[in-house]
A = this chain, B = another copy of it.
Amino acid sequence: MFKINDNYLKLPGSYLFSTIAKKVSAYQAEHPDKQVIRLGIGDVTQPLAPAIIQALHGAVDEMADAATFHGYAPDLGYEFLRNAIAKNDYADRGCEIAADEIFVSDGAKCDSGNIQEIFSVDNKIAVCDPVYPVYVDTNVMAGRTGTYDPKTEVWSDVIYMPCTMANHFAPELPKETPDIIYLCFPNNPTGATITKAQLQEWVDYANRAGAVIIYDAAYEAYISEDDVPHSIYECAGARTCAIELKSFSKNAGFTGTRLGYTVIPKDLTCGGVTLHSLWARRHGTKYNGAPYIVQRAGEAVYSPEGKEQLKAQVAYYMNNAKTIKDGLKAAGYTVSGGVNAPYIWLKTPDRMSSWEFFDYLLERANVVGTPGSGFGPSGEGYFRLTAFGTYENTVAALERIKKM
């Protein structure tokens, strides 16, 4: 008699964004006349840049001709893309990352969920609190998180590193030593960043403690201030303790096109085994590469035209971020984020809970945001709005919020 993976049953409710989608659908079904504006899920709205569209059409044409058709991709990604990444995202920033330390994938969500597989079940994880829920949820599924207390929304075997107004949303080194540390900067959901000196402390700590850092740099393209690191490999010693995850979703609008990559330096080892070899084995056995046409689209992100067009796209969203932040401030809200990240993090008014404010905002302003508590216990009392809407919708949403 077959048995299921009981760890799945420990997960409370459904995945955060599925819950939001269901709530919004229900509201719209009841109120078909209302125009709901979605500033909840971090999904982009601008079309793919012309350079990317051109690359896609070109690659599709290649697939139409036996002479230029592409079947199975190389396990770790096409060299043209890995070379472009190595040059632009690393060498040009003075980071020493070789093309064969880059694993191309269909997105950072998959990688951030799957990366835990190469670690033993009895590793202890530490996460920023609040943070992107995939880190904890996938460790729950693997049986690494102990028991759940529905009252406090805390897992017994997870080390939470609170990021609140009190510490400017920057985690402090944990008292208990973790084995695996998830860091995400610019942070989802708070939009906060840490300086290079602060990140260096984390790298030094991980090397001292024998911990591995899983560094999610999905929002790197939104960094506008100096002294905020774009990659963890800007820090000395990161090659022996850090894995980095990157996405094409937010810098290039690939949420529906699917492309990302993971970097595992070959110096990152455990008992003589490189984590690189383990992830290569996972990729080779459970994955079959990102589509050729999508990898060509990814290459175009690094072309001179692509870079220029995407700089404008990021600026468009960051103008939205400024609109939201300034508007909320003017309306009396306490806000942070929005300077190096497309997320604005606000304190809910009148001691409302995150979900109370979600309902309030949906019903009163017909605006969808994301409850902070969905990102972890310390997110309670906060709320996330994203800058990924259209400018027109963003302005309209703020008008409605101001009128509430």
Contact = CB atoms under 8 A, between A and B. Distances in A.
Interface of A: 1-6, 8-9, 11, 14-15, 18, 41, 43-48, 50, 53, 56-57, 60-61, 63-66, 69-73, 75, 106-107, 109-110, 113-114, 117-123, 134, 137-138, 141, 179-180, 209-212, 253, 255-258, 270-271, 273, 275, 278, 281-282, 284-294, 390
Contacts of A61: 53
Most buried by B among A72, A73, A121: A72
A123 B2 contact: yes
A275 B71 CA distance: 32
B70 A60 contact: no
Contacts of A117: 5, 141
Contact of A15 (B45, B50, B56, B284): B284
A153 to B, nearest CB: 17
State the number of copies, please. 2
Contact of A118 (B5, B284, B390): B5
B284 A120 contact: no
A4 to B, nearest CB: 5
A209 B114 CA distance: 32
A257 B48 contact: no
Contact of A286 (B119, B134, B275, B292): B134
11 contacts: A41-B72, A47-B63, A48-B69, A63-B257, A106-B106, A107-B288, A113-B285, A113-B287, A138-B285, A256-B289, A258-B288
Nearest to A269: B4
Nearest to A107: B288
A294 to B, nearest CB: 6
Contact of A141 (B6, B64, B285): B285
Contacts of A118: 4-5, 8
The 5 closest A-B CB pairs, nearest first, are A113-B286, A1-B210, A3-B120, A43-B71, A2-B179
A138 B286 CA distance: 7
Nearest to A177: B1
A247 to B, nearest CB: 10
A285 B64 CA distance: 34
Contacts of A106: 106, 258, 288
Given A3-B179, A271-B4, A48 B63 contact: yes
